Amino acid sequence: MMKYDFDAMHNRRIAGDIKYNCPSDVIPMWVADMDFKVPDEISDALIKEAKHGIFGYNKPDGEYMSLVTQWYKLRFDWEIRPEHIITSPGVMFSIGASINALTEIGDSILICQPVYYPFSKIVTANKRKLVISELTETNGRYQFNFDDIKTKIKKHSVKMFLLCSPHNPVGRVWTKDELKKIGNICLANNVTIVSDEIHSDFIYQGNTHTPLASISDELAKITVTCTAPSKTFNLAGLQASNTVVFDPVIRRKIEKSIAASGYFEINTMASVSTKAAYQYGGEWLDGLLSYLEESRQILQKAFPTDFPISLIQPEGTYLAWLDCRKTELTSTKLYDIFLNKARVWLHKGDTFGKSGNGFMRLNFACPHSVLCEAIDRIKYSI
């Protein structure tokens, strides 16, 4: 029997819960957080801290830094040192700080759509020019269009590339070869890479996550790697992220940009939960990955080839990208049918870019019973 009970149902209909801000008969499967409780060691550490009752200014200590570096060594054989880490309240915060630190207003920044939609928003909100290269999809597998990327980088004098690795929403775990290829294009054209690796702990059988900056010293020098325990351990509400920057000049620039925003340090509970997660959470995560592997199989079986919806098999992340193009319905119409007829709340595919039209994103980090119920409802609604 599994040591951790991922089948357990928990009440999330509490004040301020974004995911469950919907009528009680709707199953929310949109935003990327999980319906599982964190490992007991994290809750216990937070309770102990709460009972301490004094919450003065906080700064992550040496133990925090060692636990983060050990996690990446153990899980990815990636050597980072404490001085390479910049703590921040979130990956998007670090991406914003990197944009401000390393590019100028009007500079071009490249993204590959469909991709996590705040990427495009943060580029334009900071008055940078958005350059989009579409991923190409063949037989349910997405790939970079290297020629298009190269052409666009040169044509628009791109200064920065925002990479999503593993990729939300299409679920690709980029291979070392693909990463090398994209990295070399950036190296040859003086493009700084911000590699968002927030989903890197969710990798399914047969796939391997390679931290881009681990590939070579040259790539390490031009890469800002965004990591966080938030997706892995369901801690998004606690706001902790670790940005790894090897190059001291780039690091200093990002630190200055963060200081200029008036931000000081991650909060005490973010620090306490991150430490407990990386110290005690490994076994829990392995249990969770086995559970999600089964969820992935449930999804695969749910949509046979003669059905108008097919699954883009996720290699990583807990997000399923559903190809609904055979229904000939737009994402807006699909959203409406799934929400109002099936009572299942999914993310509209075109939110992630125009090429996401006809797709929907489903978060499957929930008990199997909920996933099966949602699949049944979706199938009967179409």
Ligand X SMILES: Cc1ncc(COP(=O)(O)O)c(C=O)c1O
Binding residues (CB under 6 A) for ligand X: these are: 32, 90-92, 116, 164, 168, 196, 198, 228, 230, 236, 241
- Smallest distance, Å, CB 34 to ligand X? 11
- Smallest distance, Å, CB 110 to ligand X? 16
- Smallest distance, Å, CB 241 to ligand X? 5
Residue nearest to ligand X (CB): 90
- CB of 133 or CB of 337, closer to ligand X: 133
- Helix H or strand E segment including 220: helix 217-222
- Smallest distance, Å, CB 95 to ligand X? 8
- Smallest distance, Å, CB 376 to ligand X? 26
- CB of 164 or CB of 375, closer to ligand X: 164
∠ at Cα 316 (36, 1), nearest 5°?
45
- Smallest distance, Å, CB 265 to ligand X? 16
Cis-peptide, bond into residue 82, ω within 30° of zero: no
- Smallest distance, Å, CB 114 to ligand X? 12
- CB of 163 or CB of 337, closer to ligand X: 163
- CB of 228 or CB of 324, closer to ligand X: 228
DSSP secondary structure letters along 252-321 = HHHHHHHHHTT-----HHHHHHHHHHHHH-HHHHHHHHHHHHHHHHHHHHHS-TTSS-EEE--SBSSEEE
- CB of 296 or CB of 329, closer to ligand X: 296
- What are 312's two structure tokens? 């883009």
- CB of 235 or CB of 371, closer to ligand X: 235
Separation CA 348–CA 353 (nearest Å) = 10
- The angle, 0 to 180 degrees and rounded to 10, between the axes of the packed helices 368-381 and 282-302 is 20
Place of tokens 């229904």: 327
- CB of 158 or CB of 236, closer to ligand X: 236
Residues 6+ apart with CB under 8 A from 73: 79, 80
| Paired strand residues for 226 | 196, 243
Nearest alpha carbon to residue 130 among 162, 152, 108: 108
